[in-house]
């Protein structure tokens, strides 16, 4: 069978929508008919990395937020039925090292040896009509959730969830969390903070429309990202700053703002890949404030995220696009004109 896939063929060159062979799944593998695949800023970063920077081999299909329906299974796979809606866990580890055995394939110790991080990151991902998942252990049932709307649970929800879970014991009544950038990822972060913690949720963005949406989703305060943002956030936190600052943009300007509004013994989470740099010195961040770069989340955490969505406690703001428009989607993402999470729906 032949089908289309959006593939990175040459480093630092535009990806191509190509015809590819769809092979039968091998032992332990699952073939998904892709329902939806979320477009992520990380994809733009992958498109721009220089040769040799990552251990990936070309070509490979982009897309690491993949959901769809079981089309076929390989030898040894049991418990799955054709047509069953599934969400693919993004990080594909070796399955044998200690982190993988603990469900933290995002921290697999053999990434360099394997030559990939997961589908869309060194191996074929979900920007295609069909996608092979290397093991049924990497699939989570969606139940009644539509793969065309909920594929971003695999990253846009999982990554902020992982960060928030880490800080949950500190986010008690009277504390605050700041989210810089309330696009697709930020909108999920707002809801997850609202669901998991009693902290004051402060959304920061340049777009009045996105700030309004953040308020609808549960943000307590909306702050425009201008030269008054630091002062405004300090006022909202009684001059103390926020226990958690999640930078979903990652530019020099947003990192500077994050450091200026974090609280002593707090945490700055750099999630956005805007290419910014945070200079580190003794007076560069508040006393004993941690700076971390979260990478996805664990498989058990993704199960929890899906359960939140199944319980109706999360809302996903999405825009659907056919596979033929994927290049235009990434152009709009670069321009910042998308309203929520763009999802490519190869089968309509």
Domain positions in the chain: 2-155+297-344, 158-292
Has residue 16 got a pLDDT over 90? yes
Predicted TM-score (pTM) of the model is: 0.95
Domain 158-292 annotated CATH 3.40.50.720: yes
- Which two three-digit tokens encode residue 178? 């700041």
Q: pLDDT band at residue 342, thresholds of 50, 70 and 90?
A: very high
| Residue recorded with tokens 């110790």 | 109
Query: pLDDT tens-digit profile of 308-330?
Result: 999 999 999 899 999 999 999 99
pLDDT tens across 164-203, in order?
999 999 999 999 999 999 988 999 999 999 999 999 999 9
Average of pLDDT values for 93-116?
95
Alpha carbon distance 189, 140 (integer Å): 21
**With contact defined as beta carbons under 8 Å apart, do 89 and 154 qualify?**
yes
Maximal CA-CA distance, the chain: 62
CATH topology of domain 2-155+297-344: Quinone Oxidoreductase; Chain A, domain 1 (3.90.180)
């Amino acid at each position: 069978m032949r089908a289309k896939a959006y593939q990175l063929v040459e480093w630092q060159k535009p990806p191509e929508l190509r015809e590819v062979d769809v092979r039968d799944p091998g032992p332990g593998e699952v073939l998904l008919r892709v329902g939806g695949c979320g477009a992520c800023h990380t994809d733009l970063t992958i498109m721009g990395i220089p040769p040799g920077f990552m251990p990936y081999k070309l070509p490979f299909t982009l897309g690491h937020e993949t959901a769809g329906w079981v089309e076929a299974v390989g030898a040894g796979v049991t418990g799955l039925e054709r047509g069953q809606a599934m969400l693919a866990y993004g990080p594909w580890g070796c399955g044998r090292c200690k982190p993988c055995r603990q469900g933290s394939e995002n921290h697999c110790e053999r990434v360099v040896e394997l030559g990939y991080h997961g589908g869309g990151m060194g191996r074929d991902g979900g920007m295609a009509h069909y996608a092979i998942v290397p093991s049924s252990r990497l699939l989570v049932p969606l139940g009644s959730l539509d793969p065309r709307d909920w594929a971003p649970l695999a990253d846009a929800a999982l990554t902020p969830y992982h960060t928030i879970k880490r800080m949950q014991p500190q986010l008690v009544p009277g504390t605050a969390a700041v989210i810089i950038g309330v696009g697709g990822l930020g909108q999920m972060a707002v809801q997850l903070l609202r669901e998991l913690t009693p902290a004051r949720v402060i959304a920061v963005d340049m777009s009045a429309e996105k700030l309004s949406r953040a308020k609808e989703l549960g943000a307590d305060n909306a702050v425009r990202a201008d030269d008054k943002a630091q002062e405004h956030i300090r006022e909202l936190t009684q001059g103390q700053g926020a226990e958690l600052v999640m930078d979903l943009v990652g530019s020099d300007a947003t990192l500077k703002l994050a450091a200026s509004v974090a609280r002593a013994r707090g945490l700055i989470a750099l999630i956005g890949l805007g290419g910014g740099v945070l200079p580190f010195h003794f007076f560069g961040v508040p006393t004993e404030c941690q700076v971390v770069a979260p990478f996805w989340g664990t498989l058990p955490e993704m199960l929890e995220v899906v359960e939140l969505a199944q319980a109706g406690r999360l809302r996903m703001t999405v825009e659907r696009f056919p596979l033929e428009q994927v290049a235009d989607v990434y152009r709009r993402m670069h321009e910042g004109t998308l309203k929520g999470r763009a999802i490519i729906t190869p089968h309509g």
